[in-house]
Structure 1
Amino acid sequence: MNLHGLRIFHTVIQKGSITKAANALHISQPAVSSQLKAFEIEIGIPLFEKKGRTLTPTQLGKDLAHKADTLFAVERTIEIFLEDCIHARVGSIQIAATYLPANFLLPKWAGAFKVSHPDINITIQTTNSKQAFQQLAQYKADVAMYAGSPEERPEEFEWDELFEDELWFVVSPSHRFAGKNITLEKLAAEPFVMREKGSSTRARLYALCQANQVKPPKIALQFTGLNEALSAVTAGFGVNFVSSLIANDYIKRGLLARVYVHDVTAMNKIAICTRKNDQQSELVQFISHCKQMFF
């Protein structure tokens, strides 16, 4: 397969048009069109369908583009490795982290690591658990920092568990259930404020209801960030299900109150995930550092 043709196809998908792809690749628009057509002929698969003046990728085209994402991410990883060797740099670490470690653990851990390893560049992206694992699998991240259910443990990755923390139900201090001990069924009848689909905590809430044969709550407000969700709860609307590490500070400041639920306990696993057999020295050093910081 012609990798140059694959790169042109991938760029067209990324940029959304032949014109924009030509500009990004610094070649003419007719050259992109002809090489794209030649690539389709070579592989024998229609990658686009024409709708008026718009090229729309076929389902096979979308699937190929998704796999090409991983290929070119690996290529970029190799390029960075070679650049580091040529310029005598130690390396870099790309971290995809869920909200809890990204906001409550990594700032302190990464800051302390940089003091003793100033030449290692660290980039942290906050995302949900599903996307963090996808980025790790597609070589867009070197490490996934995860807080969530142990049942979601991805078998294809190395898994270093650091510790557990409890998940709490929280409401505004003015809510009628604030500080009360009630049943899960009664609490689940309340409107909930949660993060988007793909959030491990949201998945845990649904799993908890299913395990206790309780109808899952209605998500009345949905946010892409936890701070926004908690702000809505502190303002007096709904219930949130959240890590105790996050909720504890809000409760101490009188912004939230805990709701105690009969015979229901949910724990988060805080873990570092890497690809199996990925023994980059900077990764080994960073993981060892994180373990020392906690213990």
Structure 2
Amino acid sequence: MSARLNHRQLEAFRTLIQTGTVTAAAGLLSISQPAVSRLIGDLESVLGFTLFIRHKGRLTPTQEARALAREVELSFVGLEAIRQAAKDLREFRTGSLKIATMPALALSYLPHLAHRFLDSHPGVTLDLQVFPSETVAHRVATQRVDVGFAVHWRTDPAIMSEVLAAAPLMAVLPRDFPLPADGVVRPQTLEGAPFVSLDLGLQARFLIDQAFFSAKVSRRLMVETSLSHVACDLVAAGAGVSLVDPLTALSFQDKGLRVLPFSPAIRFEYHVLRPAQVPPALLTQRFVTYLQDEIVRILGTSRRD
């Protein structure tokens, strides 16, 4: 005699109620008929009352069995709902993701890539917030978002930072700007040209200034901005030339600007930031991998170059 109620007993009871015969129940459960009878007998012993009246080879549920069947069915429906929910999570058919991103991604390819991700993951929702990299890092550190995308950030014990993708800064020029013969822009190419510069507080600005200083080339700094997208808009409006992150530059190729490589190469990194104390959800990992693959494809560079 079994001393404990178990799931297999209830499964046999439910199947027997549904099919009406031990033979049919055994077939659905892929066990023998004696095994079904044994499970029902064990269940009756645990419960302390009869579940089926046996008469001339037929089983008739007792009133107690009918009452119990309603409760068992509710439990199985609940378990099935749990199984389905777990399957949906495992197969990325449900869930939500809060993202904080720097403008360089939000104003170039991220909206398009996010839309494609949602198309291939129906049932998933995204909350996309756009902030400067410093704010992105703060929101990740305080666990207000699941993942953030930013430029390289200082070491923070509350943040796990990895390179999402990297590529050199690109030169953006008006269509009528004289092009170098080899198609590569150098500091000397831009000597004396009006220059749209990134803000002094940005690491890219320091590296750009260093490249021109090392080449002993002077620029006419006409305007400063913290956003690569605005820098490109200014170039398109005739304010000068600029060096910006590669994704932003490439997004302006079809907007009247020339986009060319710059030498010496100035590496620009897009970073993915996650809360250090919280294991990333499967959906977060899925989105980061998808975004990384797509950005690397767009840039035409390896992930760790």
TM-score interval, normalised by the smaller of the two chains:
0.5 to 0.7
Q: CA deviation at 1:166?
A: 1.9
How far, CA to CA, are the matches of 1:290 and 1:183 in structure 2? 31
- Kept in 2, the 8 Å contact 1:234–1:256? The answer is no
- The amino acid of 2:169's aligned partner reads L
How far, CA to CA, are the matches of 2:100 and 2:201 in structure 1? 14
How far, CA to CA, are the matches of 2:98 and 2:257 in structure 1? 34
Specify whether residues 105 and 235 from structure 1 end up closer, same or farther in structure 2 by C-alpha distance, changes over 3 A only.
closer
Specify whether residues 172 and 113 from structure 1 end up closer, same or farther in structure 2 by C-alpha distance, changes over 3 A only.
closer
What SS does structure 1 have at the residue aligned with 2:257?
A: coil
Q: CA deviation at 1:185?
A: 6.5
Specify whether residues 218 and 155 from structure 1 end up closer, same or farther in structure 2 by C-alpha distance, changes over 3 A only.
farther
Aligned: 1:122 with 2:123: no
Q: Deviations over 1:117-154 (max 9, x none)?
A: 444431222333223223322333321113x45xx464
Compute the TM-score of the two structures, normalised by the length of structure 2. Answer: 0.52
What residue number does 2:237 align with? 235
Q: CA deviation at 1:90?
A: 5.8
Specify whether residues 125 and 273 from structure 1 end up closer, same or farther in structure 2 by C-alpha distance, changes over 3 A only.
same
- The amino acid of 1:102's aligned partner reads A
What residue number does 2:144 align with? 140
Specify whether residues 250 and 112 from structure 1 end up closer, same or farther in structure 2 by C-alpha distance, changes over 3 A only.
closer
Q: CA deviation at 1:167?
A: 0.8
Q: Deviations over 1:223-254 (max 9, x none)?
A: 45444322221232222111333334544665
What SS does structure 2 have at the residue aligned with 1:174?
A: coil
How far, CA to CA, are the matches of 2:205 and 2:260 in structure 1? 18
- The amino acid of 2:105's aligned partner reads P
Specify whether residues 226 and 186 from structure 1 end up closer, same or farther in structure 2 by C-alpha distance, changes over 3 A only.
closer
What SS does structure 2 have at the residue aligned with 1:104?
A: coil
What residue number does 1:192 align with? 195
Q: Deviations over 1:167-213 (max 9, x none)?
A: 122222333x5436675367365432134555454344245456x37
How far, CA to CA, are the matches of 1:216 and 1:275 in structure 2? 43
**Matched length:** 201
Alignment of 1:1-295 (within 5 A): 91-146=95-150, 148=151, 152=153, 154-156=155-157, 157-175=159-177, 177-179=178-180, 184=187, 187=190, 189-196=192-199, 198-209=201-212, 212=214, 219-223=221-225, 225-248=227-250, 250-251=252-253, 254-256=256-258, 258=260, 260-261=262-263, 264-281=264-281, 282-291=283-292, 293=294
- The amino acid of 1:286's aligned partner reads F
Specify whether residues 179 and 245 from structure 1 end up closer, same or farther in structure 2 by C-alpha distance, changes over 3 A only.
farther
How far, CA to CA, are the matches of 1:199 and 1:139 in structure 2? 25
How far, CA to CA, are the matches of 1:91 and 1:272 in structure 2? 20
Structure 1 unaligned segments of length 5 or more: list them.
1-87
- Kept in 2, the 8 Å contact 1:192–1:218? The answer is yes
How far, CA to CA, are the matches of 1:191 and 1:267 in structure 2? 23
- Kept in 1, the 8 Å contact 2:197–2:242? The answer is yes
- The amino acid of 1:275's aligned partner reads P
- Kept in 1, the 8 Å contact 2:185–2:260? The answer is no
Q: CA deviation at 1:278?
A: 1.7
How far, CA to CA, are the matches of 2:143 and 2:221 in structure 1? 33
**Structure of larger gyration radius:** 2
Compute the TM-score of the two structures, normalised by the length of structure 1. Answer: 0.53
Structure 2 unaligned segments of length 5 or more: list them.
1-88, 298-305
Identity of aligned residues (%): 20
Specify whether residues 253 and 91 from structure 1 end up closer, same or farther in structure 2 by C-alpha distance, changes over 3 A only.
closer
